Amino acid sequence: MTDHEDTRERVADVCRRLAACGLVNAEAGNVSVRVGGEVVVTATNARFVELTADQVCVVDLAGYRLSGDLEPTSELALHLGIYRKFGTSAVVHTHAPMATAVGLVVEELPCVHYYMLKLGGSVRVAPYSTWGTSELADSVLTALDGRSAALMANHGAVTHARSLDAAVEQALLLEWACTLYHRAASMGTPRSLDEVQQQAVVTAALARMNNAPAPTSGETS
Ligand SMILES: [Zn+2]
């Protein structure tokens, strides 16, 4: 076990970035990254805009605190549940304004743009439960099936990914998609991509990946 000083700094950086992007208001959000069998996670009541590494603690996958002076986030069960269920490496939970607003009025955010396929397509809204409860964690885990993002009714949003930077990008993408949906819905009924259109995007992306030339040794860009 180490105190993961570098990772705690990275988590603190990410938190301040999320605040600067307007995704997190005051202490309303939490971030974690898994390093092997340990999880580096923000402390409860940490204010994102000024969050520092000493407000980030380390727990094991059972939630036992290994280092850090403060208690981990009250949504720790959600973070740990995501790691156990999906084997992923980073989780970002925010009360981002547009994601939270959209989660108040829809049961599922439809796939209105092909970039949403980076989130798995449409984004489900997990039913409301009180913050910090196992019921909330369970409903969000269900909503995340086959997805890297979920909205949380009357609460916020969560994303997960294989790296901290990717989880942040997912959170920004989700907020963008919710903003897009809101703007479109104010003018009429937004069109969604159907299953065939979504599959064609996935097929095109896979073909592009497979056709990309392999980097040669010594290649730098
Ligand atoms: Zn929350």
Q: How does DSSP assign 51-87, residue by residue? A: --GGGEEEEETT--EEE-SSPBPTTHHHHHHHHHHH-
CA 152, CA 93: separation in Å to the nearest integer? 10
DSSP E strands: which ranges in the chain?
29-35, 38-42, 56-60, 65-67, 90-94, 108-109, 123-126, 149-152, 156-161
State mean pLDDT over 192-219.
Answer: 83
The pLDDT tens digits for 4-41 are: 999 999 999 999 999 999 988 777 899 999 999 999 99
pLDDT at 152 over 50: yes
Residue type (1 letter), 33: V
Distance 167 CA to ligand 1 centre (A): 16
Give the mean pLDDT of the chain. Answer: 93
Q: What residues sit around ligand 1, an ion, with C-beta below 5 angstroms?
A: 156
Q: What per-residue confidence (pLDDT) applies to 24?
A: 85
The average pLDDT across 198-209 equals 93
164: its two tokens: 């901290």
In CATH terms, the superfamily for domain 5-207 is Class II aldolase/adducin N-terminal domain (3.40.225.10)
Q: Is the distance from CB of 126 to CB of 147 less than 8 angstroms?
A: no
DSSP state of 114: G
Which pLDDT value is given to residue 199?
96
- Report the separation in Å between the CA atom of 154 and the middle of ligand 1, taken as the mean of its atom positions: 10
pLDDT of residue 220: 43
CA of 185 to the centre of ligand 1 (A): 26
pLDDT at 107 over 90: yes
Q: What is the dihedral of CA 141, 113, 176, 210, to 10 degrees?
A: 80
Instruction: Locate 213 and state its tokens.
Output: 């030339």
Cα 85 to ligand 1 centroid, rounded to whole Å:
20
